Amino acid sequence: MTNATKFTPYWWEAAPPRELPETDVDAACDVAIVGAGYAGLAAALTLARAGKSVQVFDASDPGIGASTRNGGIGSGNLKPSISQLIKKFGPQRATTMYAEGVTARADLKRFIEDEGIDCQFDLSGRFGGACREEHFNNLARDADLLNQNFDIGATMVERKDQQAEIGTELYHGGMLRPDIGGLHPAQFHQGMLDVVEEAGVKVHGYTPVQGIRRDGSAYEVMTTGGTVKAGHVIVCTNGYTDGAIPWLRRRLVPVASQIIATQELAPEVMDRLMPKRRMMTESRIMGHYYRPSPDGTRILFGGRIYGQHEADQPLPYDHLYRDLIELFPELDGVGLSHVWWGFVAFPMDQVPHLMERDGVLYATGFSGSGVVWARWFGMKAAYRVLGQGGGESAFADRIFQAVPFYDGRPWFLPAIQAWYAMRDRLGV
Ligand SMILES: Cc1cc2nc3c(=O)[nH]c(=O)nc-3n(C[C@H](O)[C@H](O)[C@H](O)COP(=O)(O)OP(=O)(O)OC[C@H]3O[C@@H](n4cnc5c(N)ncnc54)[C@H](O)[C@@H]3O)c2cc1C
């Protein structure tokens, strides 16, 4: 095990969090948005371009939540597989939900191109490794379902052919999705912040919202910079939701996700291990996600961390290093340049939610797949405020169940994760 040199995201080398100049909080605006990640910024942009006065409040530097820490894999996937989703919601709703992911993914590409955001977006394709033989068959069934319903060109790669995709013996083949790619998440956030500011939105960093109170048909938003009277409020705090939004906090479980970045690897090593430089995932419940850096020179390897953690606490990463070496034994001894982690947000049903409660809008619960979904649902929430269409969604206004016996401290996480890990080991 080697020591990492930096405990900040690799992404911050090219796009460090931007400290915003301190600006006064306006006492009134059409829409107040809580959280300046992809969701909050997408909502702000849509509203500002429709002529609304908008203020965005973030407790910290904008983007310092998950939006500049993630793996940058633009899957727009849902945590449940297509077959699990059909079991849970029935074929019609499940198909509509998946179809929305296809549309949202295509819309992300359109958005990046239209806005001219330089974030190294690449439709590289994604390989999903089957961790057990029977997983290969499940993935093959899912590929059939996906192709029948959405014509996305998913193909299966058998174990004997998988070296063309990935230099490991660990998988039993896998599924190739040509419709999924990757981007540089911090450059994407930075580009969004630029267009949002150009559109006239006031983004306030280090200005936490402390509470929201309904006042007739408007709202009082209490911030550390003063109270704001707003016609509408959109909450986009996802995995970083704190006690200021207690209703949402009881409905989302923040789960820590961690990434390690290797030092630069020789081109011939990268050619052997990730010959097509694709995004990667695994079929286990507690599986890994990983990818090459956008310049193709190093591997960024991510996975969950067990237990309940406080933000900004340094966490051990030897388990991830061990898993990386199990996957690619020839990397044993390779140095790590960066190690970091952040929170993803899981609702009980592990599917995003777009909804209104007491007039406040929520775009949340992206369950580790917010690169596509957060921007999409932030934009949808804005369309709902505008009330002129575009806010429809298969994910809207569903029952958003509170987690039983939970007030924001996920005391039950270690037990659940141990249960998932055991199921992964037993293959059930
Ligand atoms: C390590 C890691 C890897 C990931 N990898 C991927 C991936 O490869 N692909 C993918 O699709 N998704 C991935 N995700 C998930 C994805 O990053 C998130 O779903 C997405 O960024 C969520 O965006 P958001 O705007 O909803 O929330 P965030 O970007 O988390 O922003 C929420 C913001 O709310 C602010 N906030 C909270 N409370 C308050 C308050 N009271 N007042 C003011 N501001 C407040 C926080 O400061 C924060 O900036 C990953 C996440 C992590 C952590």
331 CA from centroid of ligand 1 (Å): 30
Ligand 1 site-directed mutation target among 366, 377, 380, most atoms within 8 Å of CB: 366
The closest alpha carbon to 369, from 235, 185, 187, belongs to: 185
Distance CA(292)–CA(300), nearest Å, equals: 6
Closest C-alpha residue for ligand 1 atom 16:
370
292 lines ligand 1 (CB under 6 A): no
Distance CA(297)–CA(306), nearest Å, equals: 29
Distance CA(13)–CA(374), nearest Å, equals: 23
Name the architecture of domain 4-426: 3-Layer(bba) Sandwich (3.50)
242 lines ligand 1 (CB under 6 A): yes
Spatial contact of 167 and 280, defined as CB atoms under 8 Å apart: no
What are 288-333's pLDDT values in tens digits? 999 999 999 999 999 988 777 777 778 889 999 999 999 999 999 9
- The SS3 of residue 339 is strand
The residue with tokens 């081109």 is 267
The residue with tokens 């286990």 is 284
Q: Which pLDDT belongs to residue 327?
A: 97
Spatial contact of 184 and 192, defined as CB atoms under 8 Å apart: no
6 CA from centroid of ligand 1 (Å): 21
Q: Which pLDDT belongs to residue 2?
A: 66
The phi and psi torsions of 157 (rounded to 5 degrees) equal -115, 120
Mean pLDDT, rounded, for 347-367 = 96
Distance CA(349)–CA(300), nearest Å, equals: 28
Mean pLDDT, rounded, for 113-140 = 96
73 lines ligand 1 (CB under 6 A): yes
pTM of the model: 0.96
Q: Residue 24 — pLDDT band, cuts 50, 70, 90?
A: very high
What are 63-93's pLDDT values in tens digits? 999 999 999 999 998 988 888 888 988 999 9
Q: Which pLDDT belongs to residue 285?
A: 74
Q: Residue 161 — pLDDT band, cuts 50, 70, 90?
A: very high
Q: Which pLDDT belongs to residue 17?
A: 94
40 lines ligand 1 (CB under 6 A): yes
Q: Which pLDDT belongs to residue 428?
A: 66
Helix (H) or strand (E) segment spanning residue 385 = helix 370-386
Mean pLDDT, rounded, for 402-411 = 85
Q: 42: left (phi > 0), else alpha (psi -120 to 50), else beta?
A: alpha
pLDDT at 229 over 90: yes
Mean pLDDT, rounded, for 158-187 = 97
Q: Which pLDDT belongs to residue 310?
A: 79
369 lines ligand 1 (CB under 6 A): yes
Closest C-alpha residue for ligand 1 atom 33:
35
Q: Which pLDDT belongs to residue 371?
A: 98
Ligand 1 site-directed mutation target among 344, 364, 372, 377, most atoms within 8 Å of CB: 344
368 lines ligand 1 (CB under 6 A): yes
